Structures are given as structure tokens and as C-alpha cells.
Amino acid sequence: MISYFPGRLLFPKIRNTSCAFFSKESTSSNSLAESKTNSELQDYTGKSNLLEKKKVGVFGTSTVPINTNFPNPKGVIGYDPDFSVKEIVAELPNTRKTQGAKLAEEIKDAFSNISIEKPELLEDIGFVRHNEARVEYEFDTPEKLDLWKIGCDSDWKEGFSTCSLVNSDRGTAVFSGNISTRVLKDGRVERAGWASMKLEDRKSFNRKKFLSKWRNFSHLLLKVRGDGRSYKIMLHSPLSMDFTWGDSFSHPLHTHGGPYWQYEKIPFSKFFHTVAGRIQDRQYRVNLEDTSSIGIVIMDRIDGDFKLEIDYIGVYNDTTHVEDFAYETYTLPVFNTHGF
């Protein structure tokens, strides 16, 4: 939206050179190529979109987007942030309506909650009691479910898995689908078979909501009912700088299946640092001040249907859990090849 406003709108004469190395069009394209549309070119060369090769820039294509790019937090190859004025004008009333309503709600909340007592301040000085729990996300209405977005590899045209997230008649959410590890033969995809649900709870005008209010609790609490498969909880903490866009803190969520509900308490100290799903060498504890989203992922390399019923997600405090971080944090020597 506003944050993706391209320079081309302000300076219509100038081509967007800042992302020229990585954009689909190269700057060297001549007038002939410009006059033809993209689809015509594809017809001419007989190439399909699926088999399209990565465009390699002067310094190579970055798999993790670098700062000279427009924001591309999901690392989509060939991502084009450009859009026309026409599209903005068409989108504007809708944006004003939805975001305006959110802003009005926020202002109303701010005025109605004026109080001298600051609950988080009290929690910071130790007012969170042992066994205290707080339910943050429930799934009993479709509106609450709308905060969660789902995705799987077939949505990205990178596989054959499917997934869905629906309300059950018990006031819970059912995250279900099918995982297929069959790899799409397009020469690019190497692994397949994942599905994920992710929280997209934002303030008005795309501002992030952080989970910092959880900082005084020791455990993440989930009430779920699974199918015996192993899932993964991810606490996403992307910040403004590009090298943090893939940051997340993960921990497996094992389910026992069957008719019984399971209360899964995962200590925040046990979450390990991953970037784009890969465990990192340099480990540190999850910082909930930076965490803005939470996701549940399945990628257990098993073909077949999956089903996870979720009642609520919250936090829990156990004062006997004094562990700060469960993994070794070695200090690396100054002169080492870590960065390479």
C-alpha cells in the first residue's frame, strides 16, 4: 500500500533504476521489446511462465532480498512492486474504509482505556503469578479466524499440497488439508510438501502489532487436538532491515492424536532461531518485543491428510521455569569465517 509507493509515480520520466538489477525487465531492453507486451514475448519465444529462468543480475540474484530492492519480505522471485495510478485510485476508497474503521477503533480504545494503572508495568515488576494464563487468540467466530492467513506450496505453484482453515461447530478452528511431497518438475523447486497458518493481526495502515505484552510469561500455551503428526510453531520477528525479514523462532509442536485435547506448554526459552526455516549457528532467545506474528506450519515429509483442531492460543507463566535459553550460546573467536 502506501509503503510500497514506487518512485515512478513521482518521477514518471525516470525508469526505476534502483531495482533494475533484480527486476524482471532489464534496463537494456530496447524499444522493440518495450512495445510488445509480456505475453506476446512469451508466445514468440514459446516459453511458459513455469519454466521461466531466474534473471541473474550483475552481482548475482539474491535469494534473500537486499536493501536496494523494494520491500519483498517473502522473497518472491521476479516480484514487481510497480502498480499503476489507476490501480491506486480504484483501491483508495476501499483502503480508506477498512483502515479508517481500524483507526477509529484504535482511537476509541485509547480513550476508553485511560487509566493510571498500567497492567504491563505491574507485570514487569513481578505481578504475574505462578500458574497464571492468558488466552490471546480464540477461534469461535469467523472474524477471529480472519486474522489468520493460510498458505501451502500449491498456492505458490510450487507443489501439490492443499490446506484450509475453517470454524468447527464447537467454537474451534480446524486447520486441515493434504500434504504431498511430490516435487513439481520445473527445475527450480527442490522440496515440496508444506502448509501453514499465520497470524496477520495488524494495526491500521499496515502497522505491526508486537507480542511484547507476552514478555512476562514463561510459556506459550496452546490447546489443540491433532492427528499424531508433528507441526512447528514459528514466532516471526521481521524488522525493517532486510536481513531480519526471514527471522523467526521455532519449536516443534508434537501431537498425540485421538479424542483427547492436549494442552501444549512450550517454554519461550526453548525456541531456537531460524531464518527461512533453517536453524542458525548463532543462537539467541526469542525477543518478544520484536515478534509480530505467530504461525503453525506442517512440513513433516509425510504424504497424506492432516488435521489440527485449535481451541485457543495464549501464554502461561510458570515461576519455577527459570531457564533463560535452552541451547548453548558459544562465543565465536573474533577471526573466524562465520560470515562467509
Partner 1 sequence: MLILGSNASDGAVHVSMVLAQLSKRVITAQIRSLTNTSQEAGLVHVEKQFEAVVPEKRDKDAFMAAIATFKEKRGRTHVEFINTALKYVKDYGVHKDLDTYKSLLDVFPKGKMIPQTAFQKVFLHYPQQQNCAVKVLDEMEWHGVQPDKEIHDIVVNAFGEWNFATKKVKRMLYWMPKLKHSNKYLDRRHLEGKSLSPSELAGIALKMMSRDPATSISLLKLSDNSDPVDKWFATAQSPSQQLLLSELQKSEEVFVDGGSVYVQDNLIRFVTLTGTTKLSPLDEFKKEELDEDYSNWFEEWKKQRHEAKRSIHQQDHETVFAMGAMFQNDNATALRWMDQLQKRNPNLENLRIRVRLDGKSWLS
**Which grid cell sits at 157?**
505453484
| Minimum CB distance to partner 1, residue 102 (Å) | 29
Asked if 232 and 320 count as a contact pair (C-beta separation under 8 A), the reply is no
d(CA 208, CA 288): 13
Closer CB to partner 1, 128 or 288, in the complex: 128
Q: Phi and psi at residue 200, in whole multiples of 5°?
A: -125, 70
Reduced to 3 states (helix: H, G, I; strand: E, B; else coil), residue 153 is helix
Q: What is the dihedral of CA 213, 216, 219, 220, to 10 degrees?
A: 0
Closer CB to partner 1, 2 or 116, in the complex: 116
Closer CB to partner 1, 290 or 309, in the complex: 309
Asked if 283 and 194 count as a contact pair (C-beta separation under 8 A), the reply is no
| Minimum CB distance to partner 1, residue 259 (Å) | 5
Closer CB to partner 1, 197 or 253, in the complex: 253
| Minimum CB distance to partner 1, residue 258 (Å) | 3
| Minimum CB distance to partner 1, residue 143 (Å) | 22
HSE-up of residue 76 (Cα within 13 Å, Cβ side): 14
**Which grid cell sits at 313?**
492460543
Closer CB to partner 1, 23 or 255, in the complex: 255
| Minimum CB distance to partner 1, residue 309 (Å) | 11
Residue with cell 505467530: 294
Closer CB to partner 1, 128 or 294, in the complex: 128
Nearest one of 168, 147, 174, 109 to 310, comparing CA atoms? 174
Binding site for partner 1 (CB under 8 A): 129, 132-133, 135, 170, 176, 191, 223, 227-230, 252, 254-262, 279, 281, 301-307, 327, 337, 340
| Minimum CB distance to partner 1, residue 279 (Å) | 5
**Which grid cell sits at 122?**
505491574
Asked if 238 and 73 count as a contact pair (C-beta separation under 8 A), the reply is yes
Closer CB to partner 1, 180 or 262, in the complex: 262
H-helix or E-strand spanning residue 10: helix 7-10
| Minimum CB distance to partner 1, residue 152 (Å) | 16
